[in-house]
Structure 1
């Protein structure tokens, strides 16, 4: 039992920090506190990422519509997520520093397929998923040069800005956030903030840190729109219900 608990603790603590806490009883060690906090946040983000876009997927399925979701913005977001986790995987960064990318990529790919499907292109959705699986397999196979992966990660900065800007502009033109899930947007915003800290602690990779800083700023714009159009969306739903009753 003791060994089991130690194993669990070592999934969050390094050997050095474990000794500091449980052998030396030094609970005020600052480097260990930062390291433990980073690991804990990383694990929490990964756990949350398993379901973070599920509300968005369910919202699309329940309404049988992807209205208000720009598929090109989704493509660009998927590229950014894929580049990040593929680069981090090949660079052998700790899983706690990038693991959520795996689950976010799967969920974002599903959203892209649903947008295509409800847009009238079921065949295109199937082809898209097949092609995406092939690309990911090639990127993490070890045969893709590291330089290419680094460049993909580097262009994430403008791509994230473009992807989020497309959605922000779409929302502005529609005067509504459409089928965007408030839960998903808020969780992505909180996760990107936490990732700035964990990236500094666990990777020290400048381009990864900058990517999450940009992602946080871009997600913040969507959060502001959620609150700005909140009453507009509720009013439009109410009008829609009244029209259905009238008919």
Structure 2
């Protein structure tokens, strides 16, 4: 078997070396030595990292499709997505400028881009009645300019400042999830929130805890992923609890009110009740021309007896 693995095509060997390095490629692939735990752990970390990067490139696509197909961002919190996008962008800039392997942070690039699009869609499809009739053009322009300025700032700020911002991503991750969790709880629904995105984020955080510990060892990034994992689990629990439930409209209707309960109950005065009968007054319709008007003996129009 080693005679085959030691004579693989050059492009396969170059790819393997670029992923796990020459030493581990020789040990694991050419010599088939799976007892080298250090190389085995490193190869597993690299494989998970590349899988996360590939998964991150499509993680938010179902969420995008849900919004576009429904032409609604109902159930999605704008502050939550703004803070989450900022957190992804800071981690991306911090990892890139510190020279970390792309396999340890590459998904942040794709998640940042996808989150920017989702944020713009939330602005384009406002869910609040106060902003529904407002012009979205200026708001979209302002959001686009703010995104460009933030990206330029993260690229040019001093490394010490960027490190401080990376520390700030820990509370930022906390505050980015709380508005969405709070909105889900108040609406008793997750609206257009994508289950695929939530489950993928849980799996991604679990894998990132392993790859960060194996390849980077940065305690700041590890703490950020641990906190994100906890809050994504909360979102996952909400997805399970509120699955299939519609969001209550912002019309002052309390939670749990059905369509039958929304019907207005008309109180019946005791004076109308005679011998077990109730006199119900029917609201008048516009009478057709030439049609006779019905009068009750008491003089009331449009009245009838209902047993």
- 1:116–1:122: 8 Å Cα contact kept in structure 2? no
- Specify the alignment match of 1:125 in structure 2: 140
Q: Deviations over 1:9-68 (max 9, x none)?
A: 123212110121244432221111110011101100110111100111111111111111
Consecutive unaligned residues in structure 2, runs of 5 or more: 1-7, 127-131, 250-257, 260-307
- Specify the alignment match of 1:26 in structure 2: 33
- Say which one has the larger Rg: 2
Q: How do residues 79-118 of structure 1 correspond to structure 2 at under 5 angstroms?
A: 79-118=86-125
Q: Secondary structure at the match of 1:14?
A: helix
Q: Distance in 2 between matches of 1:190 and 1:25?
A: 29
- Specify the alignment match of 1:244 in structure 2: none
Q: Deviations over 1:93-115 (max 9, x none)?
A: 00000000000000001111011
Q: Secondary structure at the match of 2:245?
A: helix
- Specify the alignment match of 1:164 in structure 2: 177
Q: Secondary structure at the match of 2:119?
A: helix
Question: Does residue 1:64 correspond to 2:64, yes or no?
Answer: no
1:69 to partner: Cα distance: 0.9
- 1:39–1:96: 8 Å Cα contact kept in structure 2? yes
Q: Which moved more, 1:113-122 or 1:71-80?
A: 113-122
Question: Does residue 1:185 correspond to 2:192, yes or no?
Answer: no
- 1:192–1:212: 8 Å Cα contact kept in structure 2? yes
Q: Of the candidates 151, 158, 165, which is equivalent to residue 164 of structure 2?
A: 151
- 1:20–1:26: 8 Å Cα contact kept in structure 2? yes
Q: Of the candidates 26, 32, 53, which is equivalent to residue 46 of structure 1?
A: 53
- Specify the alignment match of 2:186 in structure 1: 173
Q: Distance in 2 between matches of 1:201 and 1:76?
A: 28
Q: Secondary structure at the match of 2:20?
A: coil
Q: Deviations over 1:69-94 (max 9, x none)?
A: 11011111011111111100000000
- Specify the alignment match of 2:293 in structure 1: none
- Across the two proteins, how many residue pairs are aligned to each other? 235
Instruction: Please provide the CA RMSD for this pair.
Output: 1.9
Q: How do residues 200-211 of structure 1 correspond to structure 2 at under 5 angstroms?
A: 200-211=213-224
Q: Secondary structure at the match of 2:108?
A: helix
- 1:38–1:198: 8 Å Cα contact kept in structure 2? yes
- Specify the alignment match of 1:245 in structure 2: none
Q: Deviations over 1:139-185 (max 9, x none)?
A: 22xx3111111111111111111111110010000010011011111
Consecutive unaligned residues in structure 1, runs of 5 or more: 241-247
